[in-house]
Amino acid sequence: MSQSSGDTSEQAGATQAASSGGTSASDKRPIMIEADKLCKYYGRFSAVESVSFQIRKGEVVAFLGPNGAGKSTTMKLLTGYLAPSSGVARLCGFDMNTNRLAAAGKLGYLPENGPLYPDMTPMGILKFFARARGLSHKTKDRIDHVIGQCDLSTVVNKPIGKLSRGYRQRTGMALTLLHEPDVLILDEPTAGLDPNQIREVRETIRKLGETKTILLSTHILQEVEQMASRILLVDEGRIKYDGSTAEFAKNNQSLDECFQEMTTARN
């Protein structure tokens, strides 16, 4: 386990990576997601402060932290949706500042609020995204596949604005998976869902984790043990823990107690 002391030196970063779950120097799997001293400032407010980590092929990593910790902002930096104030995000080795389009084909990003086209139907938006992504001859097969995978068949022709939160989320997941990306960045995929829907989404993610590299944010601690072998904990824009899920809850403490200890109480 490594609990950062606020030291942002190269050495501290290296120590962190070496001791973290599944990312030791001897690990030869390719690095699929990399944050390299990422910073994001809004005026003088620092939303993300020198965040560094590497995620290797096949890892499923939970991105934990209280509300406002900087999870969504970090994910937007990693996906190229936001430009960093400084630092570099790399996806499959591509620098997101300079080579975003090359990385886009490999990336599936589920943003925090899902798809925002209320007048379109799931079928309409899937066709639109398939065209935009240049899937051409594969379009029908891929759309049929993700409709089945995300269990959308009963609602494909209803306007997204009239769908329940669960079906809107599934539509977002179908768009995320449409082009068969190797890397998934999922921002609170279970937020706002009922317990049955949460179980289904967890199962989908668990299956996806068998073949893909996944970074998923959540503040639901019970999800973590079931889905992720590694935890990145962020608080006030800084990484506070990077290590295995097993080591996170030490000394018979619960995940909840460890989370509380490592993060700042806020209203």
Ligand X SMILES: Nc1ncnc2c1ncn2[C@@H]1O[C@H](COP(=O)(O)OP(=O)(O)O)[C@@H](O)[C@H]1O
Residues forming contacts to Mg ion in the complex (CB under 5 A) are 71-72, 112
Q: Which is nearer to ligand X, 68 or 166 (CB)?
A: 68
Q: Which is nearer to ligand X, 80 or 122 (CB)?
A: 80
Is 11 near ligand X (CB under 6 A)? no
CA–chain centroid gap for 141, Å, is: 26
The tokens describing 64, both together, are 């934990």
Burial (CB count <10 Å: 0-12, 13-18, 19+), residue 107: buried
Q: Choose the stretch contacting ligand X; rule: CB under 6 A; options: 64-72, 97-105, 172-180, 247-255.
A: 64-72
72 counts as binding ligand X under rule CB under 6 A: yes
Q: How far is the CB of 74 from ligand X (least distance, A)?
A: 7
Read off the DSSP letter of residue 162: G
| Single residue of 9, 26, 67, 252 touching ligand X by CB under 6 A | 67
Note whether 69 binds ligand X by CB under 6 A: yes
Nearer Cβ to ligand X, position 70 or 114? 70
Q: What is the DSSP string of 120-140?
A: S-HHHHHHHHHHHTT-GGGHH
Grouping H, G, I as helix, E, B as strand and the rest as coil, residue 215 is strand
198 binds ligand X (CB under 6 A): no
Q: How far is the CB of 112 from Mg ion (least distance, A)?
A: 5
Site string for ligand X, 14-33 (x = CB under 6 A): --------------------
Select 65 or 122, whichever has its Cβ closest to ligand X.
Answer: 65
189 contributes a contact to ligand X by CB under 6 A? no
Does residue 241 contact residue 17 with C-beta atoms inside 8 Å?
Answer: no
Q: CB–CB of 2/19 below 8 Å?
A: yes
Using the 8-state DSSP alphabet, how is residue 23 labeled? -
Place of tokens 């084909």: 105
Contacts (CB under 6 A) with ligand X, residues 33-62: 42, 45, 47
Cβ atoms within 10 A of the Cβ of 145, count? 15
CA gyration radius for the chain? 18
Binding site for ligand X (CB under 6 A): 42, 45, 47, 65, 67-73
